Amino acid sequence: MQPTFINKKSKIYLVAPSFGCTTSPYVERLHKAIEQLKSLGHEVVVGPNCFLAEGKCASNTPELRAKEFMDAYSSDADCILSVGGGEVMYEILDYIDFEQIKKLPPKWFVGFSDNTNLTFTLTTLCDVETVYGACAGHFHFKKYTYDVLDTYEMLKGKKEFKGYPKYESPQEKLDPFANYNLDTKKVITPYNYKEPFKGTILGGNLDIMQLLCGTPFDKVKEYTSKHAEGIIFYLEACDLNVVGIKRALLQLKRSGWFQNIKGFLVGRPLCIGTEFAGVDHFNAVIDVLSEYNVPILLDIDLGHIAPTLPFRNGAYATVEYKKNNIFITYE
């Protein structure tokens, strides 16, 4: 199900299903983002956990974080924005009422990284489209560009997206509101790519998808079997090293996640450029996925090295690679 695209009068509900914003630069950015979204015409509802750190490595207890999300999904808001990523969002899944969500009008949930726990499961369990994109704190910019602009435009119904000219090397920033410093030329590596390919977009953060695999929240085979048009699977890794990436992909493959596959889109991992015992992030992917004989695009604009393209889980799209760039058209 596709939620209704937002407009400038849409109500946006902020939630903290993982971390809350209590330290710099996150707290400053979220306050500024709320101001900016209001200045664009949106009514903004701030959930009770957004500025808390009452839980263990989280904004609050799993029960209260799940309640905040369910309250948001049951509200009259048009879009739910997660305030940030984190580490232990998987704890809330036992308290999310997915059956109730199926009965409610669909609405956008937007988040990145740890938010895969919901962006992925809402699509595969409830058949609701979600956006794997910029969290609320990123909307602090006075003028939206790159991934923030694309996430916002995707929610408004934009259908065509392309990668960015460069990316930002990991760097410490003293100014919480500093603009991107795109200082590194990107290089996308195509494997087995011959022509544009189509399918339903599905994916997220590999660290989290590995965690979901084999649990009661894993209905991927059931979901993909309903999509005869095929699946374009996208993924990016955060904490996993090169060997961890290979192990995670093997686990997903052995669990039947990649049936009916039409292609893979692989982001820049944080471990980019590293090697362990002959394994690098390139062969970690190719050694596992090449047997599917489908196109693979590596080091696309996706992941924890900014900027990162947003993706619409559950939407049908065409992917094209040309001139060292990726082009995605949602249909």
Query: Which tens digits make up the pLDDT trace of 303-315?
Result: 999 999 999 999 9
Q: Which candidate, 307, 303, 32, places its Cα nearest to that of 175?
A: 32
Q: Which tokens is 40 given?
A: 């664009």
Q: Is it the case that residue 174 has pLDDT exceeding 80? A: no
Mean pLDDT score, 22-51: 97
pLDDT-based confidence at residue 5 (cuts at 50, 70, 90):
very high
DSSP state of 114: G
Helix segments in the chain, DSSP class H: 26-39, 62-74, 98-103, 116-126, 146-155, 206-212, 220-225, 242-254, 281-289
Mean pLDDT score, 181-195: 96
What pLDDT does residue 291 have?
96
Q: Is it the case that residue 31 has pLDDT exceeding 80? A: yes
pLDDT-based confidence at residue 173 (cuts at 50, 70, 90):
confident
- CA–CA separation, 92 vs 82, rounded Å? 14
Q: What is the CA radius of gyration of the chain?
A: 19
- Edge to edge, the sheet with strand 130-132 lists 43-46, 11-15, 79-82, 108-111, 130-132, 311-313
Four-residue CA torsion sign, 251, 254, 259, 264: positive
Reported as type and span, the H/E element at residue 41 is none
What pLDDT does residue 172 have?
78
For the whole model, what pTM was predicted? Answer: 0.97
CA angle 287, 289, 291 (to 5 degrees): 90
Mean pLDDT score, 142-163: 97
Query: What is the number of other CB atoms lying within 10 angstroms of the CB of residue 191?
Result: 16
Percent of the chain with pLDDT over 70: 100
pLDDT-based confidence at residue 10 (cuts at 50, 70, 90):
very high
Quick check: bond before 269 cis, omega within 30? no
Query: Which tens digits make up the pLDDT trace of 132-148?
Result: 999 999 999 999 999 99
Query: Which tens digits make up the pLDDT trace of 54-88?
Result: 999 999 999 999 999 999 999 999 999 999 999 99
Percent of the chain with pLDDT over 90: 96
Q: What is the mean pLDDT of the chain?
A: 97
Spatial contact of 328 and 318, defined as CB atoms under 8 Å apart = yes
What pLDDT does residue 70 have?
98
- CA–CA separation, 138 vs 147, rounded Å? 9
Number of helices and strands (H, E) in the chain?
A: 9, 18
Q: Which tokens is 277 given?
A: 């015992």
- CA–CA separation, 309 vs 146, rounded Å? 8
What pLDDT does residue 243 have?
97
Q: Which residue pairs from 4-10 have beta carbons closer than 8 angstroms and sit at least 24 positions apart in sequence?
A: 4/78, 4/107, 5/155, 5/156, 5/157, 6/78, 6/79, 6/108, 6/155, 6/156, 7/156, 8/40, 8/41, 8/42, 9/41, 9/42, 9/43, 10/42, 10/43, 10/78, 10/79
What pLDDT does residue 62 have?
98
Residue 188, phi then psi, degrees to nearest 5: -85, 130
What pLDDT does residue 170 have?
81
Burial code (b: 16+ CB inside 10 Å, e: under 16) for 46-80 equals bbbbbbbbebeebbbbbebbbbbbbebbeeebbbb
Query: Could you tell me how far CA 245 lies from the centroid of its own chain?
Result: 17
Query: Which tens digits make up the pLDDT trace of 227-286?
Result: 999 999 999 999 999 999 999 999 999 999 999 999 999 999 999 999 999 999 999 999
